[in-house]
Each structure stands twice: as structure tokens, then as C-alpha cells.
Amino acid sequence: MNPLKRLGRRRASVLALLALGALVTPGAATAAPDAPDGVRASTLGAQAAQSGRYFGTAVAAGRLGDGTYTGILGREFNSVTPENEMKWDATERSRGQFTFGAADQIVNGATSRGQRVRGHTLVWHSQLPDWVKGIRDANTLRGVMNNHITTVMNRYKGRIHSWDVVNEAFADGGSGQMRGSVFRDVLGTGFVEQAFRTARAADPAAKLCYNDYNIENWNDAKTQGVYRMVRDFKARGVPIDCVGLQSHFGAGGPPGSFQTTLSNFAALGVDVQITELDIAQAPPNAYANTVRSCMNVARCTGITVWGIRDSDSWRSGENPLLFDRNGNKKPAYQATLTTMGGTAAAQRPDTRSARSAAALPSSFRWNSSGSLISPKPDATHRIAGIKDPSVVYHNGKYHVFASTASSSGYNLVYLNFSDWSQANSATHHYLDRTAIGTGYRAAPQVFYYAPQRLWYLVYQTGNASYSTNPDISNPNGWSAPRNFYSSMPDIIKQNIGNGFWVDMWVICDSANCYLFSSDDNGHLYRSQTTVGQFPNGFTNTVIAAQDSKYAMFEASNVYKVQGSNQYLLLVEAIASDGRRYFRSWTSNSLAGSWSPLAASEGNPFAKSNNVAFPAGTWTRDISHGEMIRAGNDQTLTIPACKLQYLYQGKDPNAGGDYNSLPWRLGLLTQTNSTC
């Protein structure tokens, strides 16, 4: 939380999408889809998300005025690829003159719908303006190519989950070599490497893909040529994260070796994505076979169909898509959904294989309690609000740590109780009376660090600080504050602008511990150390996610979802009505990129529009808080269903000095849990 005065009302800028890498799932060797028990979605995107994948479509800006088109787009897909609008002839028709109107339209539309975006494409011999084709001087062309990549990627930095950095560089036929193009002819085959290196520097959070067609059959010379290039890149450390297999198939569907091809590329250490799927006449079996191949390969992270209705297709004469020209679902649609494990499935899929599937739904509904915990001012603590709670359940009691806010600043309080009905009568222990001391301490996070058998309290002091205690129930047992960092990491200094460095959050997997923090300026940072070194050694601070300032404001929580391979990220945002709410993302790795789960104002994780107040609406803000966990250790594991979230809310009519607002604590309980 931000220690300083805030304005009462703010307008959130358009929600922007973060850098969204495709996810990795562990190998499910069976042909059965990888869907969790009890979770069946009825749309393509929602069902793909159940296994951590996306299901996307190519979008044409010119069709966004068509209600049938946008209706399907918003309902079915959670990723979009601009079909033509990001290509060179659309973005830099004349040298150095960039135009982004149509691409912006698609990206902004996608973000407002909570969809992620694939970038297509930066370097391609086709749809390339003549002024580029005419360049004969290598230095000039290299400069032009690098400038194009950098400018386009910068425009959408942080909002593209994967970029097709180079498209279709290899020749058809039996050569296995790169095709002739101005890039290859003037720069040599090294242009691909150059393009990827430039792209990595431009947007380090985006996955960088090589994209091509006719590389689906493992034995084809073209497939082998691309494979050798990717293998060489990986061996030499040239940045490449994924291979896009366009998958424009004939009526026979994918070649028999398709899954082998996907697996073999994935085994090189890259993700694979099906990037432009369409199949002549759309036979349901052909779609099912394609989708199944992806589901069976852990690193096949998403599928994009190349258009919505047959009439939208570049091959419209072949009716190759999932919706007919009237927007009706075709049999291929049902086959696709069923193969991913969606509701059309006649039978439950086999779930014996190791699953990465998210047991979380893609939208949430909650009931809120009334205000459960209010501040207890005393003679020396003139407290206006109790805020930023952290909670664990241990030895039959809830242990709650929170910020105390007053016009004179912040400190911490501790209370415990056995039942929520007792919460408001619990004794408040002011931690400024302990070794934690007076002065600015706020936004606590508590967990048991099992390797050291110690409780940690992490909080902000201007730095990221912590105290330890062998006994959580003894408020006097906390050690004096120590800092995690010697000073604010450079990357935060460079990006914080007029924001504040707040809301430090530690979570560990079996090897590493990560420290997340926010800057009230649209950035979520992440540092890491090893489990052995913790609490020392936090380094490698990076931007883990970013968005516009109010869309990614502060108060992030990161959790492991019990029984799955999934992590959940919650970040507090400021909505267009000025109220606080939470957005959510998932990832299969703490150091990975985050994919939207319920991340928009229309489909929030928790906001006034998906929270009911049976006991009376006492707040319109759903603000800084924390999940009731399944355990209490450093893995921060939460249950997969029947979620509960302890949060801060306040009288909707209260205003004035931010530090003096009457924050209280309430509890959300999920009401749409399927288990």
C-alpha cells in the first residue's frame, strides 16, 4: 500500500495487457485432454485456460464494427493476433513513418476484453514495402530492420505475450535452406539471429517466436531446416522462446507426425504454438487431431485459428474455420471444444496423467461478510484504519497482521482469534512496542519458513524489510527489522516515476524464493534468491508484469494453487469508477510470465460487481488483502476451490486524507466454486 496521500477518485486508464508468455504444462502422454476434475468450460478460451493454454483467433480491424464478429470474439477467445495490422506494410509504409492506428484498435480492444495478444509479424519477406525491398546496402538494411523491430515492439511493450519475430524465412521444397529475400540476400542468413537479438533487447518480457508454414510434417526438409536453426540458436544462446507452426492444413488435417514435430521442437527447450490454424472444409476429426496433438505436448502452449467465420478467412472458398458465415458453431467447433475437455464432452476425460490444469475457474463470484475487524485506537495509537492484512491459520487460530493507518503514518498490529465471529473482539497488539519499533512499517506478509523453522514477517519500510519470530503467537518475539536489499534496485529506480515502492511479497518454490513488489506506477517487480540463501541474496530484479499505472497498481499476492501446477497472481487496480478491485493471472512458474485469468473490470477477480453483500453493502472498494491459505509455509499454497479472501474496505462515502480513511477488514467467500 502507498504510504502517502491519495486522491479520492481516479480514472483508470484503459486496461492494458501484460506481457503474457505462453505457459508450459507437464507432459500428458495420453491422448486424453488435460482437464481438471469438475471444471468444464463451454467456450474455447475458457476451456484452453483450464490446462494453462490459450485459444486465440486472428482479428481484422476492419471487422470490429460487426456485432456478430465481436460477439464471438469476446465470448470464445482469450488471445488475438492482428491478421495484417502489425505487418511492415501496415506499420512502416514509408521509412521512419510509423502508423499504428489499426493495430492499436485491435490491441486496445483485446485488452479491454481481457484477451492477450500475439504480435505478428516483425520481419517477413511478404507484405513488405518496396522501399525495404530496394535496399542493397547491408548496414542500411540492418539499421532499418533493427529500427523497425524496436519501434514496433516498443509501441506494444509489455502487452504482447509472443511475437513472431521472423516469419517464413525458410524455402519450400527439398532444400531445407532459407528462402531468398532482401533480408537473406543482403544480410545473409544471420539476419534471423540479428532480428531475435534486437527483439529480446526491445521487449525482454515477450516470448520470441519463429513462425512458418509447412513445418508440421517432421520429415519435411523445411521442418528439418527450421529445427536445425532452432537447435543452433539454443546451443549458442541466441534468444528464441517459441516456434509457431502455422498449420494451414488441407482437408486431411495434420500430418501423422504432427505431434512428433511439436514434441521434437519442444525438446529443444522452446514452446510451440499453433499459430494460424485453418483446415479445408473443417472436418471435425482433423480439428480434433490437431488440438489433441497440442494437448498432448506439455510445451504446446496455445492455439490460434486464422479467423472466426468462414467468411472472414483468407481461404473463404474452403470454409476452413470453426464458425459458419452466420456465426453459427460448426461441428469442428464442438470437436475442438470436446478435445480440450469442454462441456460438449460426452465422457469425462482421463485425468490420470500428471496435470498442470488450473482448478481455478476463469471467473469468480463472492459473498462478502460485513466489516469483521475494526481498528482499536488507544491513547498512543490514534488509528483511523486497519489495512493490508496478512493471515495464516495455525494451531487452531487465525493470526492476522495488518497495517495501522493514521494521519501521522503507519505501523503494524497483530491479533489472533479462533473463529471469524471472534475477530472483532480480539486483542490488538501494536508491534511498534516490540523490537519491530516505531516509524514507517506497513503492508505485512507472514509465513513460516520451514527450512529455518522460523516465522517471517515481511513489510515495507521504504526498503523491503523483515523480522523473524520462533513463535507466531508471541508478539514480543519479533526481531528488529532487517532489509532484504542494500538499496532500491536500479530497475525500480528507472521505472518508478512518481510512484512508491510498496507491498513486498515473498513466495518460494522448492529451489528459489522470489520477492515481488509494486511501484504504484504500473510495474510488478520480482527478485530472486535460493531457498538456501534466503533471506539473503535477493538479486536479478526484473519487471515480472506491467500495465498502465492504475491497471497494475499495488498490493500483489502470489500463491501456489494446491494440487495443480499453477500459480495465481492477484494485483490491486483502480477501476474507472475510482474504486479498488483485484485482477488475476496465472502462470506455471514463479519466474514465468502471467496469463490473464479474471483480469478485466468486466471479469474481475474481485470487484464490487462480482461481490454480493448479504449483510449489507459496507464498501465499494475491494482492496489490499490476502487469501486464506491451505498451509502456512513459504510456498503460500492456497486451496483450489472455496476460496476466501481477507480484504480491506471502507465506507463508500468516506473521503479526505488517504491515511485517515476508515479502512476495516472483511472476508470474501467464493460462491461459484465447482468443487
Q: How far is the CB of 246 from ligand 9MR (least distance, A)?
A: 5
Q: How far is the CB of 30 from ligand 9MR (least distance, A)?
A: 32
Q: Please tell me the distance from the alpha carbon of residue 243 to that of residue 234, in angstroms, as a whole number.
A: 12
Q: Please tell me the distance from the alpha carbon of residue 232 to that of residue 238, in angstroms, as a whole number.
A: 8
Cell of 163: 511475437
Asked if 557 is part of the footprint of ligand 9MR (rule: CB under 6 A), the reply reads: no
| SS3 readout for 300-323 | EEEEEECCCEHHHCCCHHHCCCCE
Q: Please tell me the distance from the alpha carbon of residue 517 to that of residue 536, in angstroms, as a whole number.
A: 16
In the complex with ligand 9MR, the residue whose CB is nearer, 306 or 333, is 306
Q: How many CB atoms within 10 Å of residue 209?
A: 29
Residue 459 backbone class (left: φ over 0; alpha: ψ -120 to 50; beta: rest): beta
Asked if 312 is part of the footprint of ligand 9MR (rule: CB under 6 A), the reply reads: no
Q: How far is the CB of 143 from ligand 9MR (least distance, A)?
A: 25
In the complex with ligand 9MR, the residue whose CB is nearer, 167 or 273, is 167
Q: Which residues are catalytic?
A: 168, 276
Contact between 310 and 57 under an 8 Å Cβ cutoff? The reply is no
Q: How far is the CB of 276 from ligand 9MR (least distance, A)?
A: 5
Amino acid making up residue 59: V
In the complex with ligand 9MR, the residue whose CB is nearer, 261 or 608, is 261
In the complex with ligand 9MR, the residue whose CB is nearer, 212 or 388, is 212
Q: Please tell me the distance from the alpha carbon of residue 411 to that of residue 432, in angstroms, as a whole number.
A: 6
Asked if 395 is part of the footprint of ligand 9MR (rule: CB under 6 A), the reply reads: no
Q: How many CB atoms within 10 Å of residue 498?
A: 8
Selected binder of ligand 9MR within 26, 74, 105, 314 (CB under 6 A): 314
Q: How far is the CB of 40 from ligand 9MR (least distance, A)?
A: 32
Q: How far is the CB of 58 from ligand 9MR (least distance, A)?
A: 6
Q: How far is the CB of 358 from ligand 9MR (least distance, A)?
A: 30
Phi, psi of 281, rounded to the nearest 5 degrees: 65, 0
Asked if 304 is part of the footprint of ligand 9MR (rule: CB under 6 A), the reply reads: no
Look up cell 467447433; give the residue: 333
Binding mask 217-256 for ligand 9MR (x = CB under 6 A): -----------------------------x----------
Q: Please tell me the distance from the alpha carbon of residue 456 to that of residue 624, in angstroms, as a whole number.
A: 19
Q: Please tell me the distance from the alpha carbon of residue 503 to that of residue 511, in angstroms, as a whole number.
A: 23
Asked if 126 is part of the footprint of ligand 9MR (rule: CB under 6 A), the reply reads: yes
Among 605, 554, 571, which Cα is nearest to 442's? 554
Binding mask 85-124 for ligand 9MR (x = CB under 6 A): ----------------------------------------
Among 375, 389, 358, 312, which Cα is nearest to 66's? 312
In the complex with ligand 9MR, the residue whose CB is nearer, 246 or 648, is 246
In the complex with ligand 9MR, the residue whose CB is nearer, 210 or 213, is 213
In the complex with ligand 9MR, the residue whose CB is nearer, 260 or 316, is 316
Binding mask 152-181 for ligand 9MR (x = CB under 6 A): ---------------x--------------
Binding mask 558-597 for ligand 9MR (x = CB under 6 A): ----------------------------------------
In the complex with ligand 9MR, the residue whose CB is nearer, 84 or 584, is 84
Q: How far is the CB of 282 from ligand 9MR (least distance, A)?
A: 16
Q: How far is the CB of 93 from ligand 9MR (least distance, A)?
A: 15
In the complex with ligand 9MR, the residue whose CB is nearer, 84 or 356, is 84
Selected binder of ligand 9MR within 84, 351, 586, 659 (CB under 6 A): 84
How many residues bind ligand 9MR (CB under 6 A)? The answer is: 9
Residues 8-37 that bind ligand 9MR (CB under 6 A): none
Asked if 276 is part of the footprint of ligand 9MR (rule: CB under 6 A), the reply reads: yes
Is the Cα dihedral 475, 470, 528, 597 positive or negative? negative
Q: How far is the CB of 127 from ligand 9MR (least distance, A)?
A: 5
Q: Please tell me the distance from the alpha carbon of residue 316 to that of residue 280, in angstroms, as a whole number.
A: 9
Half-sphere exposure of 634 (CA within 13 A, CB side): 26
Asked if 83 is part of the footprint of ligand 9MR (rule: CB under 6 A), the reply reads: yes
Buried b (16+ CB within 10 A) or exposed e, 548-581: bbbbbbbbbbbbbbbbbbbbbbbbbbbbeeebbb
In the complex with ligand 9MR, the residue whose CB is nearer, 304 or 362, is 304
Cell of 555: 498490493
Cell of 560: 501456489
In the complex with ligand 9MR, the residue whose CB is nearer, 161 or 399, is 161
Q: How far is the CB of 278 from ligand 9MR (least distance, A)?
A: 9
Asked if 203 is part of the footprint of ligand 9MR (rule: CB under 6 A), the reply reads: no
Q: Name the residue number minimizing CB distance to ligand 9MR.
A: 314
Asked if 127 is part of the footprint of ligand 9MR (rule: CB under 6 A), the reply reads: yes
Among 247, 266, 195, which Cα is nearest to 81's? 247
- What are the residue ranges of helices labelled H in 312-377? 331-339
Contact partners, residue 624, CB within 8 Å, separation at least 6: 1, 387, 388, 389, 443, 503, 554, 555, 572, 580, 647, 648
Grouping H, G, I as helix, E, B as strand and the rest as coil, residue 63 is helix
- CA distance from start to end of the chain: 33
Rg of the chain over all Cα atoms, to the nearest angstrom: 26
Positions touching ligand 9MR (CB under 6 A) are: 83-84, 126-127, 167, 213, 246, 276, 314
